[in-house]
Amino acid sequence: MGRYTGPKCKLARRIGMNLELKGKRLEAEKCRGLDIPPGGRFRRSKLSAYGEQLLEKQKLKWFYGVMEAQFRRYFHEAAKSKGSTGEALLLFFERRLDNVLFKLGWTLTRAQARQLIVHGHVNVGDRRCTIPSCRVSAGDVIRIRPAEKSQKYVRARIEESRGRMVPAWLSGDNENLTARVVNLPTREDVSLPVNEQLIVELLSK
């Protein structure tokens, strides 16, 4: 199954929270309230234990914009790592290059960040990176390429996202469009309120 291309508000209403899929546009009046689930229902039905687990998994998957097969690869890798499987899973997502660009305020959404990367506008170190799922490491330096088109696009997005707080594990220079990964993120740096243990229970069955 391919990437979801339908209404982003529908996903946010399914979860009942802003998943940062449309930037500020999600709060526009044309988008129905997040407290109203899709399908015209005005009350959410009570979920079973399985339903709660599935909802947490979908929340995480839609928030970071990954597909099912990729999500399961992350989980299998996290299961083999030391420490908490759930925490390792979240931090794998948080270290994605597309998420880093979004956290820096260089794009309004993670989807915009993926497009920017795939089109070759981003360097990690001295090399061009065209893989949105590239996992950054402590000390990595990220740059927007010097092409006028690249610089102009990102500066416009920075102006639109003005006021967004950059997490402490990243250090950004919006003047020169460079950033550095100061250290690896921790569980506290994940802004999505998610119960990762439910996801581990679901995928461990």
Average pLDDT over residues 173-182: 96
Residue 187 pLDDT class (50, 70, 90 cuts): very high
| Residue 8 one-letter amino acid | K
Domain positions in the chain are 8-93+192-203, 96-184
Give the residue among 90, 97, 98, 83 at the shortest CA–CA distance from 56: 90
Residue 156 has pLDDT above 70, yes or no: yes
pLDDT in tens, 80-134: 998 899 999 999 999 999 999 999 999 999 999 999 999 999 999 999 999 999 9
139 contacts: CB under 8 Å, gap ≥ 6? 180, 181
Give the residue among 143, 138, 149, 131 at the shortest CA–CA distance from 176: 143
pLDDT in tens, 58-90: 999 989 999 999 999 999 999 999 889 999 999
Q: What percent of the chain is predicted at pLDDT more than 90? A: 68
Give the residue among 188, 197, 21, 185 at the shortest CA–CA distance from 92: 185
pLDDT score at 40? 59
CATH, domain range 8-93+192-203: 1.10.1050.10
For residues 179 and 142, the answer to whether their CB atoms sit within 8 Å is yes
Least confident of 16-25, 28-37, 109-118, 160-169: 28-37
Least confident of 14-23, 34-43, 138-147: 34-43
CATH classification (class only), 96-184: alpha beta
Least confident of 85-89, 134-138, 162-166, 181-185: 162-166
pLDDT score at 13? 72
Average pLDDT over residues 186-192: 93
Give the residue among 107, 100, 165 at the shortest CA–CA distance from 136: 100
Residue 44 has pLDDT above 60, yes or no: yes
Residue 33 pLDDT class (50, 70, 90 cuts): low
Instruction: In whole angstroms, give the CA distance from residue 184 to residue 121.
Output: 24
Catalogue the E-assigned strands of 58-196. Answer: 122-124, 127-128, 141-144, 170-173, 178-181
